Amino acid sequence: MLSYLHSGFRSWWNVVRFIVYFFSIGILCKTLFSGWMRDSSDERKEWWERMVLGIIITVIGFFIRLMVIVCGLFVLVCSMPLLPILLIIPIRFSYEQLVKMGSIGKSWAYGGSLTLHRYGVSLYRGQDKKLYGREETIELMTRVLSREDQDNVLLVGTPGSGRKTLITQFAKNVYRGLVPPKLRNREVIEVNLIDTPLPLLEKMFTEAMKAGNIIMVFHDPEKYEGMLSRLAPLLSAQELQVIAITSIEGYHSVWKQQADIMRYFERIEVLPLGNDDTLLCLRDVAHDRYKKIRFEEGVLEEIVRRTNDLVQQIPQPEKSLDLLENLAANAKEITLQDVHRVLSQETGVPIGAIERDEKQILLQLEDVLRTEIIGQEEAVHDISSALRRARTGIASKEKPIGTFLFLGPTGSGKTHTGKMLAKHYFGSTSNMVRFDMSEFATGESAQAFIERLAVSIEEHPFGLLFFDELEKAHRVVWNILLQVLDEGRLSTQVGRTVSFKNNIIIATSNAGTTLIQKNPQITKGDLMSYIIQDRLFSPEFLNRFDDIVLFHPLSRQDSEAVTRLLLEELNARLMQERGVTVQITDILVHALVEVGYNEEYGARALRRTVQEKIENIVADMILKDQAPPGTALVIDHL
């Protein structure tokens, strides 16, 4: 019984609180003598005009506010008989729901900030937006802004992570009085620094300080010269409250370096939404905006999963919402295939084909690579086996698809193997990104390496990364690569994080080449012992790779097979460009190997021989009109 009566009293008290809020009785009393919707301080007017106008708008403001106060008090008195009714009848009112009806007095209560209201944006207006997983963040914002010291907020996050939504909902909470007492009569106003000249901004500062109840919101204020230094004395005197929004890059490159301004702010990081909250957001948007569209089961889950995998530079939920919007354009039914098709168009990754064929690719990979990689049976077997283990085992889903260290002499096929792996696993040799590690030979180049690596991943989220001649890079760079191999993630200097979980990583090294050339049949174990003993690489570093792959020098017999492949590549280009081919004969192949075979440079020497001998001869024949389309050119001597 007592709990029933308590519930009824609580419901009546919520009604009383709402009446006070609806008519804003308290704050209207404080601003009775404020002006009314006009700026009487226009310097273009004479002093007496400003004085007369000021008196008029103050009188108008006084009478309008007084009438609202009287009406509010009358309704408040009329609410008294409601108490016994609510104690008997189980009608319950929630203050949080009542205040969503708005207020007729609140917007009239703000006085002395006419310029701010004319050129700024009061963020409490508009529809409510649901906060997905942001409740703790908005509570933290509220606590910080309610403090006596360091009561300004710096929201740090990637555009699209929901920073503006957070502030908008906070502004609504302030407007509705759902905040601690210090904030209840405040107003949150956004100022667009791009369109606001300095004199006008100074006037806004003056009004905000005079009003004493304004929280100003600025986007990326660090981008505007002198803005942070101008804010510092205002915040020091506690005459102004500010919510600043910046990116992760902006925080690390500017804010973090300026302790004199950061001491007035509490940094609050806005992280991308998690998968569950993003999915909930998508479901609400699909229900509210796309009622006429039929969604195949699992489509929304697929949108979240795929955008997480392939779109790294945009946070959730924006990247999922963007894809949903693109899918919904001119669509009546959205299927999983539609998700794959649209995302493939946007990222260049053939998603559906790769996943449908991955099992078949893994089963056939060794046989396919063996036809295009000559003389490296052991290497082909090791690569294929390691990838099968990685993709069918219990490896971490956050780590790269596979990581390899290729060891072997120049011209043994390390780079070619990387290209063929990119071709058959990722669909094209263009999905291999090569890094010349000799460019990162100093410790100072580490940040440049991180930045280039991050950009490469953002541009090629699904592909092969090839780090050529790793031993030429500085050990600081090795440690960066070690982090990638360990964690599958990397953070840039400005706090941007990229994932390598959809990449194959290959590093190459000529370490131990002299030993390999002296003993072409050396085992991997013997080579590894030599490398560790000579401290070329540490055991800890080597153990981070899924496999160490040994490439042996090409034999003369291998060189003939390589030469045939090089001639076939040439014929493919000639047929496409000129409609002619070169007859590949045993005599021609043998002659090229006789000229180009070199134990030290391997396939590179053979490729150079084909260019210098065959391509030059073909070019002369074309110029002399001796190679009409459809001709199979016979080259019987070099």
What pLDDT, on the 0 to 100 scale, is given for residue 384? Answer: 87
Q: What are phi and psi of 121, to 5 degrees?
A: -125, 120
Q: Is the pLDDT of residue 101 over 50?
A: yes
Q: What percent of the chain has pLDDT over 90?
A: 37
What pLDDT, on the 0 to 100 scale, is given for residue 109? Answer: 59
CB-side neighbour CA atoms (13 Å) of 233: 5
What pLDDT, on the 0 to 100 scale, is given for residue 471? Answer: 94
- The Cα 113–Cα 36 span in angstroms is 10
What pLDDT, on the 0 to 100 scale, is given for residue 391? Answer: 64
What's the token pair of residue 606? 């053979």
What pLDDT, on the 0 to 100 scale, is given for residue 392? Answer: 65
Residue 279 forms part of a structural domain: yes
Burial class (CB in 10 A: 0-12, 13-18, 19+), 6: exposed
Residue 243 forms part of a structural domain: yes
Question: Measuring CA to CA, how many Å separate 36 from each of 55, 58, 93?
Answer: 10, 6, 34
Predicted model pTM: 0.73
What's the token pair of residue 446? 């580490």
Q: Say whether both 463 and 334 belong to one domain.
A: no
What pLDDT, on the 0 to 100 scale, is given for residue 601? Answer: 76
Q: What is the mean pLDDT of residues 603-624?
A: 85
- Domain limit, last residue, from 70, 100, 130: 100
CATH of the domain at 254: 3.40.50.300
Which residue type is seen at 450? I
> What are 49-92's pLDDT values in tens digits?
667 766 777 787 788 888 888 888 888 888 888 888 887 787 88
What pLDDT, on the 0 to 100 scale, is given for residue 454? Answer: 92
Q: What is the mean pLDDT of residues 214-242?
A: 91
Q: Is the pLDDT of residue 105 over 80?
A: no
- The Cα 527–Cα 511 span in angstroms is 9
Long-range contacts, stretch 589-596, CB < 8 angstroms, 24+ apart = 589/560, 589/563, 589/564, 590/560, 591/637, 591/638, 592/563, 592/638, 593/556, 593/559, 593/560, 593/563, 595/638, 596/559, 596/563
**Closest among 149, 151, 146 to 184, alpha carbons compared:** 146
Q: Say whether both 525 and 560 belong to one domain.
A: no
- Domain limit, last residue, from 252, 271, 290: 271
What pLDDT, on the 0 to 100 scale, is given for residue 107? Answer: 65
Considering 179-188, 326-335, 471-480, the range whose residues carry the highest mean pLDDT is 471-480
- Domain limit, last residue, from 322, 347, 372: 347
Q: Say whether both 341 and 385 belong to one domain.
A: no
Question: Measuring CA to CA, how many Å separate 129 from each of 107, 167, 180, 241, 634?
Answer: 21, 11, 21, 24, 75
Compute the mean pLDDT over every residue in the chain, rounded to the nearest whole number: 86
- As a whole number of angstroms, the longest Cα–Cα distance in the chain is 114
Q: Say whether both 210 and 257 belong to one domain.
A: yes
Domain of residue 243, residue span: 110-271
E-assigned strand segments in 78-132: 121-122
Residue 426 forms part of a structural domain: yes
- The Cα 38–Cα 53 span in angstroms is 9
Q: Say whether both 227 and 279 belong to one domain.
A: no
Asked if 105 and 25 count as a contact pair (C-beta separation under 8 A), the reply is yes
- The Cα 381–Cα 377 span in angstroms is 6
What pLDDT, on the 0 to 100 scale, is given for residue 494? Answer: 79
Q: Say whether both 300 and 265 belong to one domain.
A: no
Interior/surface letters 563-584, b for 16+ CB within 10 angstroms, e for the rest: bbbbbeebbeebeeeeebbbeb
Structural domain count, the chain: 5
Q: Say whether both 285 and 261 belong to one domain.
A: no
**Closest among 30, 64, 72, 37 to 53, alpha carbons compared:** 37
Q: Say whether both 22 and 75 belong to one domain.
A: yes
Q: How confident is the model at residue 245 (pLDDT cuts 50, 70, 90)?
A: very high
- The Cα 50–Cα 63 span in angstroms is 20
∠ CA 500-505-508, nearest 5°, is 150
Residue 638 forms part of a structural domain: no
Regarding predicted confidence, which is higher, 55 or 325? 325
What pLDDT, on the 0 to 100 scale, is given for residue 111? Answer: 54
User: What is the H or E stretch that residue 444 is in?
Assistant: none
Q: What percent of the chain has pLDDT over 70?
A: 93
What pLDDT, on the 0 to 100 scale, is given for residue 38? Answer: 46
Q: Say whether both 174 and 126 belong to one domain.
A: yes
CATH of the domain at 609: 1.10.8.60
> What are 338-388's pLDDT values in tens digits?
999 998 888 877 676 555 566 777 788 889 898 888 888 888 888 888 777
β-sheet bridge partners, residue 294: 333
Regarding predicted confidence, which is higher, 585 or 219? 219
Helix (H, G, I), strand (E, B) or coil at 153: strand
Asked if 281 and 132 count as a contact pair (C-beta separation under 8 A), the reply is yes
What's the token pair of residue 584? 């590949």
What pLDDT, on the 0 to 100 scale, is given for residue 40? Answer: 44
Q: Say whether both 480 and 535 belong to one domain.
A: yes
First to last CA, the chain: 109
The radius of gyration computed from the CA coordinates of the chain, to the nearest angstrom, equals 35
Residue 105 forms part of a structural domain: no
**Closest among 589, 575, 561, 619 to 416, alpha carbons compared:** 561
> What are 518-538's pLDDT values in tens digits?
888 888 889 889 899 888 888
Q: What is the mean pLDDT of residues 535-542?
A: 89
What's the token pair of residue 605? 């020497």
Helix (H, G, I), strand (E, B) or coil at 212: coil
Q: Say whether both 513 and 372 belong to one domain.
A: yes
What pLDDT, on the 0 to 100 scale, is given for residue 34? Answer: 67
**Closest among 41, 34, 27, 24 to 61, alpha carbons compared:** 34
Asked if 173 and 126 count as a contact pair (C-beta separation under 8 A), the reply is no
Q: Say whether both 234 and 167 belong to one domain.
A: yes
User: What is the H or E stretch that residue 432 is in?
Assistant: strand 432-436
